Amino acid sequence: MINIILGAVSLGLLWAIMTTGVFLTYRVLDYADLSVEGSIVMGAAIVAKLITSGVNPVIATVIAFAGGLVAGTVTGLLNTKLKIPSLLAGILTMIALYSVNIRIMGKANITLLKSETVFTMIEAIGLDGNIGVIVLAVVVNAAIAFALYWFFGTELGCAVRATGDNEKMARAQGINTDTMKILALALSNGLVALSGALIAQDQSYADVSMGQGAIVIGLASVIIGEVLFYRGNFMNRLVSVVLGAVVYRIIIALVIEMGMRPTDLKLFTAITVAICLALPTFKPQLKTAVAKIMPHKREVK
Amino acid sequence: MSKVLELKNIEKTFYAGTVNENYVIKNLSLDLEDGDYVTVIGGNGAGKSTMLNIISGALLPDSGSVTIDGEDVTKLKEYQRAKYLGRVFQDPRLGTATNMSIAENMAIANRRGKNRGLKWGLPKSEEAEYKELLSILDLGLENRLDAKMGLLSGGQRQAVTLLMATIQRPKILLLDEHTAALDPKTAAKVLEITDKIVTQNKLTTVMITHNMRDAIKHGNRLVMLDAGRVILDIRGEEKQNLTVDQLLKKFEHLGGESTLSDRMLLG
Ligand SMILES: Nc1ncnc2c1ncn2[C@@H]1O[C@H](COP(=O)(O)OP(=O)(O)O)[C@@H](O)[C@H]1O
Ligand SMILES: [Mg+2]
């Protein structure tokens, strides 16, 4: 049991990096970006190809991050310069990346079983198995959270936030909203690709279909984190997103343990997200319903 | 006197070449002199907002030119012209970022027209300045620098938006019915603040209003738009002595194409 939980926590922390990326677009920029489904695979593909070609795993991981930046930039350009609606722009990048990712790998999947990875590197200093993954992932997540906290406090970061909050206001204040969107999308997809690169090294393989449903997993994690842990400032919010991703993986591990078929997971996740997203719509009805059943109880939270 | 704004032969048609074709601005020319405080009135759909949007770059004219302080800005994008313009919109939600604090909003406005880099976005050193500016409003906001903008009332938001529009001195202040969404008492208060800011800073200002009394009471010049044309441009003493009755008569006499809306008559 403890191993199942540790496994879930380590996987959750790796996916948390992607979740942070999804948070950037979905919450800060107010943009549902589907290109993450492709960029998470792109990160895995780049890292697998480079590592099996003999490149240092750390350098390969950094290059994977850069690949994500490029993918996000493409989505941003499609949306802002070619005026393609945000959902469609993301879908176009996602579809295009499918082919690109196979080209990068030269085939549909690559195994890293016999290769050196960032995780075998820290195993060498005595941290092995799930503990090693958890330590490394915590460090990476913490570094990302501090970097983002700093960035969104700068003039440029404030301009990105203003763009996501109120585009008209942002433009009236002289902010180039197109550039801010591209910047946020690039950053987001960079993190998603970084996440994919680390997941591939943890699982010892990269597969062209490993991104399927990533956006929904990301959204579920963001929402779980907000509901359970978000209470105040921006740093707290970034941490809640990471915790949300971990809790999501623990929930999944538990329902599988309880006998759910792994192939039903996507359905389970989709339903969870649908319910979460629908909650605001049903809140008034929920209130009246509860008030009818329990007249003494006024507020539902 | 130098011209701060020159609109020359502006034309604008929406949905040109379709059944919905709408010829909104017709060969419109208008000059603003330094320090002009112009009130703009006109019926619903007369093209007032469209004119302001063409000045700000939110819309591009089909032809004609927009010149601000001698610089032809016709081709400049909205965000590029922002350094010259302060704007307050009719909808109080449009002027500020809801999920950011009052101080953060002001810091963003304080950087209008400047490069935004990796310096801290809200330096502690600027907070005193924001407090002082907010205290001018006399709304108690100077003690709520960290409050999220979304928590403020419509009137409070418009007042803060006014500060934001003028914290970096704009060459032109553009107000599009910025009190229309407020209750009468709050509207009067925001107008009072507007007058104070405009006169203290000697700002060149265009204020659209649907209220004839306000249009007469405020500013040094009154322009009436009708069906995309300037049909009346009154200034100086004549403007000071104007009454609502006279204004209505002039409008009828000029044979305005559109009827003045009820809300305008009642104003
Ligand atoms: N962005 C736009 N797209 C299409 N039609 C518009 C747009 N803005 C204004 N119009 C139309 O132009 C006309 C003038 O509108 P507007 O300038 O808002 O009038 P006013 O502010 O004087 O009431 C109206 O018929 C309006 O529907
Ligand atoms: Mg209007």
**ipTM of the complex model:** 0.94
Note whether A70 and A110 are same-domain residues: yes
User: Using a 6 Å cutoff on CB, does residue B22 contact ligand 1?
Assistant: yes
Residues 6+ apart with CB under 8 A from B32: B3, B4, B5, B6, B38, B172, B204, B206
- The mean pLDDT value for A20-24 works out to 98
Instruction: Give yes or no for a contact between A29 and A232, defined as CB atoms under 8 angstroms apart.
Output: no
Domain ranges (residues) in chain B: 34-60+74-225+237-265
CATH number at A198 reads 1.10.3470
Instruction: Give yes or no for a contact between B11 and B75, defined as CB atoms under 8 angstroms apart.
Output: no
Nearest-CA residue of chain B relative to A159? B108
Give chain B's mean pLDDT: 93
CA dihedral for A238, A84, A274, A258, sign (positive or negative)? negative
- Whose C-alpha lies nearest to ligand 1, atom 27? B45
Q: How far apart are CA B117 and CA A90, in angstroms?
A: 28
- On the question of pLDDT at A73 being above 70, the answer is yes
Number of structural domains (chain A) is 2
Residue B248 tokens, joined:
């209505």
Note whether A28 and A66 are same-domain residues: yes
CB contact under 8 A, B108 and A175: yes
Alpha helices by DSSP H, listed for chain A, are 2-23, 36-52, 57-80, 86-105, 118-123, 129-151, 155-165, 167-172, 177-203, 214-229, 234-257, 265-293
Q: Which residues of B touch A165 (CB under 8 A)?
A: 97-100
Widest Cα–Cα separation across chain B: 59
Residue ranges making up the domain that contains A158: 2-259
Task: Return the ligand number nearest the Cα of B42.
Answer: 1
Q: How far apart are CA B222 and CA A232, in angstroms?
A: 49
Residues 6+ apart with CB under 8 A from B115: none
Instruction: Give yes or no for a contact between B257 and B245, defined as CB atoms under 8 angstroms apart.
Output: no
Selection from A285, A163, A155 nearest residue B115 by Cα: A155
Note whether A294 and A185 are same-domain residues: no
Cβ of residue A80 closer than 8 Å to a chain B Cβ: no
Note whether A169 and A207 are same-domain residues: yes
Yes or no: is domain B34-60+74-225+237-265 CATH 3.40.50.300? yes
Note whether A127 and A241 are same-domain residues: yes
Give chain A's mean pLDDT: 92
Closest by Cβ to B113, choosing from A153, A158, A174: A174
**Percent of chain B having pLDDT more than 90?**
88
Give the pLDDT of residue A298: 43
Give the pLDDT of residue A10: 96
Instruction: Give yes or no for a contact between B153 and B160, defined as CB atoms under 8 angstroms apart.
Output: no
Note whether A159 and A222 are same-domain residues: yes
Note whether A98 and A83 are same-domain residues: yes
Note whether A229 and A269 are same-domain residues: no
Query: Nearest-CA distance from B166 to chain A in Å?
Result: 11
Residue-wise pLDDT tens digits, A243-301: 999 999 999 999 999 998 988 988 988 888 888 778 777 767 666 666 666 555 443 33
Give the domain-ending residue among A259, A274, A289: A259
| Residue A121: CA count within 13 A, CB half-sphere | 11
Give the pLDDT of residue B263: 47
Q: How far apart are CA A235 and CA A221, in angstroms?
A: 17
Cβ of residue B100 closer than 8 Å to a chain A Cβ: yes
Note whether A15 and A133 are same-domain residues: yes
Give the pLDDT of residue B257: 55
Note whether A281 and A193 are same-domain residues: no
**Percent of chain A having pLDDT more than 90?**
79
Selection from B126, B135, B89, B132 nearest residue B107 by Cα: B126
Note whether A105 and A253 are same-domain residues: yes
Note whether A294 and A241 are same-domain residues: no
Give the pLDDT of residue B255: 61
